[in-house]
């Protein structure tokens, strides 16, 4: 067994703190054992990079954009499997220095998912090996659900971090992801206060009538820390369990930016495809008090989620989750 993976014998990398022995086939909420790579290729989206997508995720987001990767092995997506860190590092550096890498101005290795946090020791080893060859930059894309110890480990080696926040309120965050919002906001605050120079941006996917009401409190949360914190609103595209749901409109995206700026935030914008067709669900779950949480919770319930308010950490079906096993017919 590779020494750097010893922490997976009692895995506590994320806030679920499952404590399972992933090297012996036990699985926690993320559902993966030994780290596996889904895809790896040059990618032109900012920051331009050689992007490595890791299989698995500790969230079960209803509108997941990368659900075939996040919910491996429940999905039928192909995986490149476990690749020796030395080989992965060599490939990454070679691609960054290639003619295409230079053409798109790729200047870093970008780790994403799913969530890369369940694969943190593996990522650390890839970065270590890559920097033996060349002093490369590294970006880490996160949902923010790592432990404080894991966050400090990440900040130790990253050049930049892209930080996705699904919702601000506890209810809406649980209804969308199956996880509490507290650890995410704690980690976001730590990054904003202690590692702003490493932050590429915070990202917030705006889902019509579900997490719209959280725009103002989230923006105020950041504005009170530092008005120059970068916040990018992403336009929701119908995907995964929310494949029939209505996409965000340009009007809603522009209103989110205005609302955020009205709180005092200065570095706010939005991006993504708008106006995709769909409909707002009429199914509601009464276990939630917030309207957006009732909508998302109702959809989760309709698709087989049994623990409400959603809590994947204690759910009896966490290893056979019907949400995780959902196969979407539509991809946008």
Q: What is the pLDDT of residues 195-251, one digit of tens each?
A: 999 999 999 999 999 999 999 999 999 999 999 999 999 999 999 999 999 999 999
Backbone angles phi, psi at 146, to 5 degrees: -85, 160
pLDDT of residue 332: 80
Helix runs in the chain, H state only: 67-70, 85-96, 99-103, 120-133, 148-157, 170-177, 182-194, 215-225, 250-262, 291-302
Contact 120, 152 (CB under 8 A): no
Around Cβ 284, how many Cβ atoms within 10 Å?
16
Reported as a single tens digit per residue, the pLDDT across 103-128 is 999 999 999 999 999 999 999 999 99
**Closest residue by Cα to residue 35 from 159, 160, 96, 125:** 125
In this structure, the strands spanning 49-54 and 37-43 are: antiparallel
What is the distance between the terminal CA atoms of the chain, rounded to a whole angstrom?
40
**Looking at the domain that runs over 31-302, which CATH code has it been given?**
3.20.20.70
Reported as a single tens digit per residue, the pLDDT across 297-315 is 999 999 999 999 999 999 9
pLDDT at residue 75 is higher than 80 = no
Six token digits for residue 29: 């909420």
pTM above 0.75, yes or no: yes
How far is Cα 228 from Cα 330, in angstroms, rounded to an integer? 37
Fill in the DSSP letter of residue 246: P
pLDDT at residue 100 is higher than 80 = yes
How far is Cα 281 from Cα 244, in angstroms, rounded to an integer? 9
């Amino acid at each position: 067994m590779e020494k750097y993976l010893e922490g997976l014998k009692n895995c506590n990398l994320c806030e679920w703190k499952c404590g399972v022995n992933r090297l012996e086939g036990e699985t926690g909420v993320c559902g993966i054992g030994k780290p596996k790579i889904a895809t790896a290729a040059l990618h032109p989206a900012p920051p331009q990079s050689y992007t490595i997508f890791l299989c698995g995720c500790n969230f079960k987001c209803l509108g997941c954009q990368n659900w075939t990767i996040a919910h491996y092995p429940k999905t039928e997506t192909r995986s490149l499997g476990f690749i020796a860190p030395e080989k992965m590092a060599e490939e990454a550096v070679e691609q960054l220095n290639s003619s295409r890498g230079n053409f798109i101005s790729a200047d870093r290795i970008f780790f994403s998912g799913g969530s890369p946090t369940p694969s943190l020791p593996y990522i650390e080893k890839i970065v270590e090996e890559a920097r033996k060859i060349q002093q490369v930059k590294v970006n880490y894309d996160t949902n923010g659900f790592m432990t404080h110890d894991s966050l400090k480990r990440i900040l130790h080696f990253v050049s930049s971090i892209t930080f996705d926040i699904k919702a601000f309120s506890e209810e809406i965050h649980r209804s969308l992801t199956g996880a509490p919002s507290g650890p995410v906001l704690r980690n976001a605050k730590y990054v904003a206060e202690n590692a702003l120079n490493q932050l590429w941006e915070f990202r917030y996917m705006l889902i019509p009538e579900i997490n719209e009401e959280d725009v103002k409190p989230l923006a105020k949360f950041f504005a009170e820390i530092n008005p120059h914190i970068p916040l990018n609103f992403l336009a929701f595209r119908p995907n995964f369990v929310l494949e029939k749901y209505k996409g965000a409109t340009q009007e809603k995206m522009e209103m989110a930016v205005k609302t955020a700026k009205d709180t005092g935030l200065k570095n706010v914008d939005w991006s993504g495809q708008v106006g995709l067709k769909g409909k707002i669900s009429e199914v509601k779950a009464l276990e939630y008090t917030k309207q957006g949480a009732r909508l998302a919770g109702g959809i989760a319930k309709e698709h087989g989620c049994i623990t409400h308010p959603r809590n994947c950490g204690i759910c009896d079906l966490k290893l056979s989750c019907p949400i995780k096993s959902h196969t979407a017919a539509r991809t946008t």
